[in-house]
Amino acid sequence: MTDPIPYSSDPYSRLTPPAALRAPEGTDPYTTWIWLILALPIVQTIPVFFIDWTAFVDASLADPTGLQATAALFSPAYVALFVLSWIGTGLTIWFAYLDWRELKRRGVPQPFHWAWIFLVFAVSYAVYTIGRSVVVKRRTGSGYAPLWITIATIVGGIAVGVWISVVLTQQIFEAVLSTPFAP
């Protein structure tokens, strides 16, 4: 069986897409829509810094049924976080479609399909942004910035999660240690 691509001494020759898969020279790989997709997770996270975690911990320890804790958690900041997450998810899907459409309009052949954004429900928006970056880089010769911003956003999200965990753990310890034990 023969190799469909003729042998070349250049090990990178297979990495160069055929001319039919290259965008016109000078095609801008960055659209407004990809930047909006990358900004949404940051905007959606802002309310988490305004949740009164102390009130939540105190209510959790004071009421074993959890009713007060639930009421404490449903603060305006928590409701904003919840609402922004759903609105942001819808906008992310819409922006991915608009990004895909704009790349096609600019002449990028076979851009990463926008439907991959639906993995936002199971995995993350990162599937689309990273896949898009790889495909656009192959088609235009540039376009890795969204990939790196996605990675930075994920690392930042992990840092925020660790921060919330540390704050909650500290507040739980303080609340438990300040509660007098009845004999």
Q: How confident is the model at residue 121 (pLDDT cuts 50, 70, 90)?
A: confident
Output the CA torsion 152→157→160→164 (10° steps): -160
Give per-residue pLDDT as tens, 132-149: 999 999 999 899 999 999
Q: Which of 51-60, 65-74, 118-127 holds the top average pLDDT?
A: 118-127
Q: Longest C-alpha distance within the chain, in Å?
A: 84
Token duo for residue 160: 């925020």
The answer to whether residue 11 scores a pLDDT higher than 60 is: no
pLDDT at 111 over 90: yes
Sequence-ordered alpha helix ranges (H) in the chain: 32-45, 53-62, 67-73, 76-105, 126-140, 145-178
Is 87's pLDDT higher than 70?
yes
Phi, psi of 68 (to 5 degrees): -65, -40
Q: What are the tokens at 62?
A: 């004071």
pLDDT of residue 180: 72
Average pLDDT, integer, range 48-75: 77
Domain spans, the chain:
29-178
DSSP 112: P
| Summary mean pLDDT of the chain | 85
Of 63-67, 108-112, 128-132, 150-154, the poorest mean pLDDT is in 63-67
Q: Which residues contact 70 (CB under 8 A, 6 or more apart)?
A: none
Residue that is written with structure tokens 């004071």 in the block? 62
pLDDT value at 1 more than 60:
no
Does the pLDDT at position 64 exceed 80? no
